[in-house]
């Protein structure tokens, strides 16, 4: 999954990117329009729990790929704006960084900042929708049935856009419509998580600014998390012992990637399942409601193609009974077919034949 980090200029996008992906800030090229790419491991206590019961060689966490997309500051030139938008169109989800700290840039104005970026994104979608509507209208007059579907969806998205509102998020559309909207790279339909970049003094987000952002996020069907990107970036460069000490002195229990990844999962409707054996214990990401073959596909397309059935139990079963032999003896090893919806926290062995 790819998550784009967006926000106004100097809101702390690059700082957040570095803290999440463990990239030293000093290693990034200064300026330039190229987006920075990095991978964050998702901390997951269940991996440790599984590995403490099943002997294994390695533990592999699930990951989120973050893209730090060069800032869209008001008054940016058309070329820079287009470059920015073309990157934003490609990601699965957005993290919108909102400045809530003041180190010389002036008192934060989160509501205004959010509106200003949103307006930019709504305008970008509006332009795409208008020109696509025109094209689809011409083709559908000639009896092109696919163009008719495109025309219908463009009419639907233009309603909110013309009123200056975002397109309803992807998960509210049918699977077929989602595919179309993605192919157009509609930005405001992407799930967007808000990251309030708070100052060191307000690390817990107990401020009015954070309340304002949380409420805006909630009304958009999303969530906000408070992060002090500056401190987090410092944290990310420490070794584990120093990191724990610094976290404790900050009154935090874990680095920001923890709460942030959990919020991304909630906002995107994602779940985790696990595979566990002597070679590795590994976390995988699926959408909530995914069936067993779809989950198999997260591991390998061959396993999906040749899916026979899935043997599963839950992390809770493992905690209670300690090993698979005991789980089987207790009748808790389930044999599930292709219609089974894999649950968050399932440990799965896929049986397949290709």
Ligand X SMILES: Nc1nc2c(ncn2[C@@H]2O[C@H](COP(=O)(O)OP(=O)(O)OP(=O)(O)O)[C@@H](O)[C@H]2O)c(=O)[nH]1
Among 4, 8, 12, 14, binds Mg ion (CB under 5 A): 14
Angle at 16 (CA atoms; ends 12, 18), nearest 5 degrees: 120
Q: Which does 230 bind (CB under 5 to 8 A by kind): Mg ion, ligand X, none?
A: ligand X
186 binds ligand X (CB under 6 A): no
Which SS3 state, helix, strand or coil, does residue 345 take? coil
- Residue 277 Cβ vs ligand X, minimum distance, rounded to whole Å: 41
95 binds ligand X (CB under 6 A): no
Angle at 66 (CA atoms; ends 60, 72), nearest 5 degrees: 175
118 binds Mg ion (CB under 5 A): no
304 binds Mg ion (CB under 5 A): no
Residue closer to ligand X by CB (options 3, 228) is 228
81 binds ligand X (CB under 6 A): no
- Residue 104 Cβ vs ligand X, minimum distance, rounded to whole Å: 9
Of 210, 205, 221, the closest CA to residue 93 belongs to: 221
Q: What is the DSSP string of 61-127?
A: --EEEEEEPPP--TT--HHHHHHHHHHHTT-SEEEEEEE---SSS-S--HHHHHHHHHHHHHHHHHH
Scan residues 189-248 and list those touching ligand X (CB under 6 A): 197, 199, 228-230
Which SS3 state, helix, strand or coil, does residue 139 take? helix
15 binds Mg ion (CB under 5 A): no
Q: How many residues bind ligand X (CB under 6 A)?
A: 17
- Minimal CB distance to ligand X: which residue? 71
C-alpha 304 chain-centroid distance:
24
The region that residue 330 occupies, defined by phi over 0 for left and psi between -120 and 50 for alpha, beta otherwise, is: alpha
14 binds ligand X (CB under 6 A): yes
Residue closer to Mg ion by CB (options 36, 46) is 36
Segment interacting with Mg ion (CB under 5 A) among 6-14, 210-218, 305-313, 340-348: 6-14
For residue 176, give both structure tokens: 């077929």
Segment interacting with Mg ion (CB under 5 A) among 14-22, 74-82, 146-154, 206-214: 14-22
Tokens 């790419």 found at: 37
Residue closer to ligand X by CB (options 70, 224) is 70
Q: How far apart are CA 307 and CA 292, in angstroms?
A: 8
Residues engaged in binding ligand X (CB under 6 A): 7, 9-15, 70-71, 101, 103, 197, 199, 228-230
Residues engaged in binding Mg ion (CB under 5 A): 13-14
């Amino acid at each position: 999954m790819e998550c784009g980090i967006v926000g106004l200029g100097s809101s702390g996008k690059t700082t957040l990117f570095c803290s999440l992906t463990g990239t030293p800030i000093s290693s990034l090229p200064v300026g330039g329009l190229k987006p920075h790419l990095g991978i964050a491991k998702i901390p997951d206590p269940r991996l440790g729990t599984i590995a403490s019961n099943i002997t294994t060689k390695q533990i592999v966490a699930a990951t989120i790929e973050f893209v730090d997309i060069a800032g869209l500051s008001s008054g940016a030139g058309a070329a820079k704006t287009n470059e920015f938008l073309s990157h934003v169109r490609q990601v699965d989800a957005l993290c919108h960084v909102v400045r809530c700290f003041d180190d010389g840039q002036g008192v934060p104005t989160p509501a205004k900042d959010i509106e200003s970026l949103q307006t930019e994104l709504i305008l970008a979608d509006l332009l795409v929708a208008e020109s696509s509507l025109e094209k689809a209208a011409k083709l559908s007059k000639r009896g092109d049935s696919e163009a008719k579907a495109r025309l219908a969806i463009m009419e639907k998205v233009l309603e909110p856009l013309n009123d200056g509102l975002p397109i309803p998020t992807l998960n509210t559309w049918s699977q077929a419509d989602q595919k179309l909207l993605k192919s157009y790279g509609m930005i405001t339909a992407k799930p967007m998580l808000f990251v309030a970049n708070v100052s060191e003094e307000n690390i817990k987000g107990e401020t009015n600014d954070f309340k304002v952002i949380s409420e805006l996020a909630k009304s958009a069907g999303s969530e906000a998390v408070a992060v002090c990107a500056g401190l987090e970036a410092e944290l990310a460069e420490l070794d584990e012992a120093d990191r724990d000490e610094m976290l404790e002195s900050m009154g935090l229990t874990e680095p920001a990637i923890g709460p942030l990844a959990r919020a991304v999962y909630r906002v995107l409707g994602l779940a985790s399942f696990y595979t566990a054996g002597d070679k590795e214990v590994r976390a995988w990401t699926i959408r909530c409601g995914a069936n067993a073959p779809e989950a198999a596909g997260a591991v390998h397309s061959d396993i999906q193609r040749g899916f026979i059935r899935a043997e599963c139990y839950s992390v809770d079963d493992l905690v209670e009974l300690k090993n698979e032999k005991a789980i089987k003896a207790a009748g808790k090893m389930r044999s599930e077919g292709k219609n089974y919806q894999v649950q968050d926290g399932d440990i799965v062995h896929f049986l397949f034949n290709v």
